[in-house]
Amino acid sequence: MYVYSQLRTAVGTLIRRTTFVFLVAAGAFCATPPHVPGRLLAGRRASLEPSLEARIWRLHGAVERRHLAPLGVHVLDVPEEASEAIRQSLQQSGLFDYVEPDYYAQEGASTPNDSYYGSQWHLPKIGSSAAWSRTTGSASVVIAVVDSGVYAAHPDLAAKLVPGWNFVKANADTSDTTGHGTAVAGAAAAETNNGIGVAGVSWASVVMPLAVTDSTGFAAYSDIAAAIQYAADRHVRVINVSIGGTALSSVLQTAVDYAWNRGALLFAAAMNSSSGTPNYPAACKHAIGISATDESDSLAPFSNYGAWITLSAPGTDILTTMRGGGYGYENGTSFASPIAAGVAALVLAANPQLTNQQVLDILEQTADPVGRPGFDPYYGWGRVNAARAVELAAPPLRMTHAPDVRPPHRP
């Protein structure tokens, strides 16, 4: 009782003295408070006698919200305007090991500070910010870019490249011959949150440039197949091929199967002739053919379509990295494909144990149904949604593989 009497006197004095100061100063703290308003955490290793504990709370105008007994933590609701005075009073009582506000923690940065991020409409469209709250990718998830090479001195790509190969020149010179590969690489994995330029879908992924096109933009099927094999042999899980041809090819199918059997996901552009003509490798079995959508989630007017499309992704006015070190807008399924590939890289970063089939199932099941319900020949299973895909991928996995009910169309 003596302890209680002394505490009551001290509390009254301290609260009267402190509350006035606190209220005068409160106007300077109108921003979001760094702690839960009106909540304190009081820690005591040894338990208090229950009746004394109740009196202490009552004396301070506090209500015990929760008692984390194994941790010795009392979670208290108190009047916010007097919370600092109450905190000091409880601390000075000598009955508690510590008394502190219930501070806020914050999710990892989900809005990057890249100077042109606000002009990248496609990233909010696919739910990138929410996805980045869970993961910004992983350097262990390599994205192979089978294309024209990559401009290695670009400030948003220089730190993101791992050694690749030039299949046209048969050497390690993967410098960009047309600029196409640099733009593709930036869409997938540009350096992000570095205060300059643009953001990529998978911040932390690295890029393996595999050059297969000549200076005119043409690539031999044999070089594309060799590049796919090269990536698969080096355990690359995500491969992007933003080139294609209309000739059905056993060699491309063999290469795609080879990569799939080694756990890789191969994303390929549907190409841009506004037709349903299959393009390869996008139309190969086990390839993930990507059509392009615009800001209103309509099929881009240039995009190909058909029963061979797997998914869709934004592909108009994509602000990305350019050869020479600058930035510019690009249109085409060539840029929809690496955006989808970037989402797959985020999924694998969130759960590296996933098989390629599980990743594909996740992408299909979480895509936004921008076309008709179920499979749509213009959008496949829908437009990719990074936020939903990453959420579903997080362990424990909560989905099952559904059979593909598309019309038969692939060789």
Q: Is residue 8 part of a domain?
A: no
CA 347 – CA 394 distance, rounded (Å): 8
> Does 219 score more than 50 pLDDT?
yes
Residue 296 gets which letter from DSSP? Answer: T
Q: Which of 83, 334, 337, 368 is the catalytic position?
A: 334
DSSP H helical segments within 26-69, as ranges? 50-59
> What is the pTM for the complete model shown?
0.74
CA 273 – CA 303 distance, rounded (Å): 6
Are 61 and 45 in contact by the 8 Å Cβ rule? The answer is no
Claim to verify: residue 62 and residue 188 sit in the same structural domain:
no
Question: How large is the average pLDDT for residues 276-294?
Answer: 97
Claim to verify: residue 135 and residue 55 sit in the same structural domain:
no
Three-state secondary structure call for residue 326: coil
- Provide the token pair at 320: 């990305």
CATH of the domain at 370: 3.40.50.200
Q: Which of 180, 303, 312, 376 is the catalytic position?
A: 180
Identify the pLDDT of residue 69: 86
Are 198 and 321 in contact by the 8 Å Cβ rule? The answer is yes
CA 62 – CA 58 distance, rounded (Å): 6
Are 102 and 80 in contact by the 8 Å Cβ rule? The answer is no
Identify the pLDDT of residue 48: 78
Are 347 and 366 in contact by the 8 Å Cβ rule? The answer is no
Claim to verify: residue 249 and residue 385 sit in the same structural domain:
yes
CA 9 – CA 91 distance, rounded (Å): 15
Q: Is residue 20 part of a domain?
A: no
Length of the chain measured in residues? 411
- The residue among 105, 130, 149 that closes a domain is 105
Active site annotation includes 180: yes
Claim to verify: residue 213 and residue 87 sit in the same structural domain:
no
Claim to verify: residue 44 and residue 178 sit in the same structural domain:
no
Identify the pLDDT of residue 353: 93
Q: Which residue has the higher pLDDT, 395 or 197?
A: 197
* Residue 13 burial (10 A CB sphere; 0-12, 13-18, 19+): exposed
Domain count of the fold of the chain:
2
By percentage, how much of the chain surpasses pLDDT 90?
76
Phi-psi region of 206 (alpha: psi -120 to 50; beta: other; left: phi over 0): beta
Give the list of residues 6+ apart from residue 9 with CB closer than 8 angstroms, or none: none
Active site annotation includes 147: yes
Claim to verify: residue 231 and residue 167 sit in the same structural domain:
yes
Q: Binning pLDDT at 50, 70 and 90, where does residue 102 land? A: confident
* Residue 256 burial (10 A CB sphere; 0-12, 13-18, 19+): buried
Q: Which of 147, 156, 176, 223 is the catalytic position?
A: 147
Claim to verify: residue 41 and residue 88 sit in the same structural domain:
yes
> Does 25 score more than 50 pLDDT?
no
> Which structural domain, as residue segments, surrounds residue 100?
32-105
Q: Is residue 18 part of a domain?
A: no
Are 99 and 56 in contact by the 8 Å Cβ rule? The answer is no
Taking each continuous run of H as one helix and of E as one strand, the counts in the chain are: 11, 13
Active site annotation includes 67: no
